[in-house]
Chains A and B, each alone.
Chain A
Amino acid sequence: MESGYHIVVCGSLVPDPLQTLEPDVGPKGPALKNEMVLPSVLDPWAAHALYEAAHLAKEYAGSKVWLVSVGPKQRLQQLMMTVAQKAPFSFVPVDGSASGFCDPFETATALANAIGAIPDLDRSRLLLFGGYASASRDAGVTLQVVGEMLGITEVFLAVDSLSVSENGEISLLERVEGGNYLFSECDCPPLVVGWATGHLPEPPNNPQIGMANMRSIMPALQKAPQVQVGAEGVSFAKVELPQQQRTTRIVKDVPVEQIAGEIVAWIRG
Chain B
Amino acid sequence: MTEPVRNDSAMKKILLLAFVEENGALGKPALEALSGACELAQAFGAALNVGLIGEFAQKAADSIASCGANQILAVQGPEFASARCATDSAAAVALIRAAEADFVLAPQTTRSARCMPGAAFRAKGRIDTRITGLRVDEGTLLIQRWYYRQRMVAELTRSQRPWVVLLEPGVFSPWSGGGGHAEVSIVPVEPVETRTRIAGIEPASAGTQTIRPDADLLFVAGAGWTKKQADGEVHVEEAENLIRNFLDLTHASLGSSKSLVDQSGEGQKVISLLTHMHQVGQTGSTPRHPKGLATCCHGEEPHVVGWRFINERRAVNLDPNCGWARGKADVLYVADAFAVMGKVIELLGKDAGQAAV
- Using a CB–CB cutoff of 8 Å, the interface residues on chain A facing chain B are 14-15, 17-18, 21-23, 30, 32, 44, 100-101, 103-105, 109, 112-113, 116, 135-141, 144-145, 147-149, 153-158, 160, 171, 173-188, 191, 196-197, 233-242, 244-254, 256-257, 259-264, 266-267
Contact = CB atoms under 8 A, between A and B. Distances in A.
Given A138-B146, A264-B344, A249 B213 contact: no
A236 B155 contact: yes
Contact of A184 (B84, B204, B212): B84
A237 B156 contact: yes
A136 B148 CA distance: 4
Given A185-B197, A233-B160, A240-B152, A44 B118 contact: no
Contacts of A196: 276
Contacts of A253: 334
Contact of B331 (A44, A109, A249): A249
Interface string B109-123: 111011101100110
Contacts of A178: 209, 211-213
B356 interface: no
Interface of B: 1-2, 5, 7, 82-86, 89, 109-111, 113-115, 117-118, 121-122, 126-130, 137, 142, 146-160, 194-205, 209-213, 217, 250, 275-278, 282-283, 291, 293, 302, 308, 312-314, 316, 320, 324-336, 339-341, 343-344, 346-348, 351
Describe B's contact surface by its main secondary structure: mixed
23 contacts: A17-B282, A30-B154, A32-B148, A100-B148, A138-B148, A141-B117, A153-B194, A154-B195, A155-B115, A156-B85, A179-B204, A179-B210, A180-B203, A184-B198, A186-B195, A233-B7, A234-B157, A244-B308, A251-B332, A259-B343, A263-B293, A264-B348, A267-B348
Given A157-B114, A246-B329, A183 B283 contact: no
B129 A175 contact: no
A218 B185 CA distance: 58
A157 B147 contact: no
Given A141-B127, A251-B331, A105 B83 contact: no
Given A113-B1, A242-B153, A250-B332, A180 B204 contact: yes
B109 A260 contact: no
A253 B332 CA distance: 12
A141 to B, nearest CB: 4
B333 A251 contact: yes
B1 A234 contact: no
Given A157-B114, A160-B276, 7 more contacts: A100-B148, A155-B118, A175-B277, A233-B126, A237-B154, A239-B154, A263-B293
Contact of A245 (B2, B110, B313, B327): B327
B169 to A, nearest CB: 10
B156 A235 contact: yes
Contacts, number: 273
A238 B146 CA distance: 11
Contacts of B152: 21-23, 239-242
B142 A237 contact: yes
A97 to B, nearest CB: 14
Contact of A179 (B203, B283, B351): B203
B9 to A, nearest CB: 9
Contacts of B130: 138-140
Given A154-B86, A246-B330, A235 B316 contact: no
B157 A237 contact: yes
Nearest to B278: A179
A112 B160 CA distance: 21
Contacts of B109: 177
Q: For the complex of A and B, list the 10 residue pairs with the smallest distance between their C-beta atoms, beginning with the closest.
A: A179-B211, A260-B343, A155-B85, A144-B117, A245-B327, A187-B195, A141-B117, A237-B155, A239-B154, A153-B86
Contacts of B83: 176, 182
Given A113-B1, A239-B153, A263-B333, A177 B213 contact: yes
B148 to A, nearest CB: 5
A81 B281 CA distance: 27
B147 A153 contact: no
A238 B121 contact: no
A157 B113 contact: yes
A257 B333 CA distance: 12
Contact of B283 (A23, A44, A239, A267): A44
A238 to B, nearest CB: 5
A234 B156 contact: yes
A186 B196 CA distance: 4
A196 B275 CA distance: 13
Contacts of B291: 266-267
